[in-house]
Amino acid sequence: MLGEYMDSNSLSKLKDYKLKNKKFSIHDSRNIIKSVRSNKNLPILNKKFAFYNFKGGVGKTSICFQLSSHIALMGYSVLVVDADPQAHLSTSFGLQSDSCFLTLYDLLTNKASFNDVKKNIFLGFDLIPSNLSLTRIESIFYDKKQSFNKLSEQLSLIESDYDFIFLDTNPTVSFLNRNIVFFSDVINLVCETQPYSLNGLKILLEDLNNFYTHSGIIPKCMHIIPNKYEYRTISSAESMSLLRTYYKTYIKEDFAVRKSEDFNISAKIGKPLVLFAKKNSIALEDILDLTFHLLDRYAYGNNIYKK
Ligand SMILES: Nc1ncnc2c1ncn2[C@@H]1O[C@H](COP(=O)(O)OP(=O)(O)OP(=O)(O)O)[C@@H](O)[C@H]1O
Ligand SMILES: [Mg+2]
């Protein structure tokens, strides 16, 4: 199937390729993968994915970076939104926080248009960046009677231009995060496989349910992503057992993203795992598993996504 596609579309290999896994340009690779693997004819049921937890350092940005990049590399058109003033996501995409560029703050305050704010990463993959200016948005939201729909108002104008929108949140209970929850279809709750993190998860779910009730919105799809799993540690095993017992319907069965140095390297060099990790990388294996799970179960709402 792959051979047929390449022959019929007369794709040429990059002239100076040295590594087996870098034979084609990003543009050609996206077309190849999308044509051979994607379910082009199925409707996408859920397209807006938030990565959420008011606990810091659990892996929201890392997983948002990996999933958005990998899904864009598969040929989908993707927008990724950095909604954290710390701007780690923007930094992973190569933007230095001290340099001057428009951000989500300018979009939300109508100081700039979507097209002026967005940065193109590669064809079909755009970023709305962030920097410290975003801290000022909280007082503005507060003055506007604690509005939850400001982000939705802006992004719903361009939503149909993308197959998927990924949103990285900041680790607080903020109006901005409420706006993101309001806009998103699926809330990915990233948590560490540590006992304290699971206590936090209980509070997080209670807080979200209170928010749904008070704001009168339909509860969103929730997906828990256990992260930093350490093989052979009792705390990781205990956490997974607790997750299976209390949150079975929110997790992918027998799955956690394992702890791996490749995540740190990926953020540092600003490249998603598939562009540099070795074939036997556990981080790459877990992220690809998670990518297919997200597409299969949450985007298409079925179990027939072709791996
Ligand atoms: N599975 C993993 N294995 C090893 N390191 C990881 C893993 N996931 C994330 N990390 C590392 O943990 C640190 C925190 O991750 P990250 O910045 O993604 O968390 P975060 O939840 O976005 O944090 P914040 O709340 O501050 O925005 C980073 O150094 C990241 O590289
Ligand atoms: Mg982060």
| Ligand 1 center from residue 229 Cα (angstroms) | 12
Ligand 1 atom closest to Cα of residue 86? 27
Instruction: Give the separation between CA 35 and CA 38, rounded to whole angstroms.
Output: 6
Cα Rg, the chain, nearest whole Å = 19
Any atom of ligand 1 within 6 Å of the Cβ of 193: no
Residues 6+ apart with CB under 8 A from 107: 113, 114, 117, 128, 154
Cα 33 to its chain centre, rounded Å, is: 19
- 72, burial (CB in 10 Å: exposed 0-12, middle 13-18, buried 19+): buried
Domains of the chain, start order: 1-37 (no CATH), 47-299 (3.40.50.300)
Q: Residue 156 has which token pair?
A: 């719903």
Query: Helix, strand, or coil here: 168?
Result: strand
Determine which residue's CA is closest to atom 31 belonging to ligand 1: 264
Q: 256-299, pLDDT tens digit by residue?
A: 999 999 999 999 999 999 999 999 999 999 999 999 999 999 99
Cα 49 to its chain centre, rounded Å, is: 6
Q: Residue 143 has which token pair?
A: 């003055």
pLDDT string in tens for the chain (307-residue length): 555 655 666 666 666 655 555 566 777 777 777 766 666 578 899 999 999 999 999 999 999 999 999 999 999 999 999 999 999 999 999 998 777 899 999 999 999 999 999 999 999 999 999 999 999 999 888 877 768 999 999 999 999 999 999 999 999 989 999 999 999 999 999 999 998 888 899 999 999 999 999 989 999 999 999 999 998 899 999 999 999 999 999 999 999 999 999 999 999 999 999 999 999 999 999 999 999 999 999 999 865 444 4
The 3-class SS string of 62-78 reads: HHHHHHHHHHHHCCCCE
| Ligand 1 center from residue 53 Cα (angstroms) | 12
pTM: 0.91
Please give the pLDDT value at position 198. Answer: 87
Query: Is residue 261 within a helix (H) or strand (E), and if so which, with residue range?
Result: helix 261-269
Please give the pLDDT value at position 14. Answer: 65
Report the chain's mean pLDDT, rounded to a whole number.
Answer: 90
Please give the pLDDT value at position 147. Answer: 82
Ligand 1 atom closest to Cα of residue 190? 21
Instruction: Give the separation between CA 201 and CA 212, rounded to whole angstroms.
Output: 16
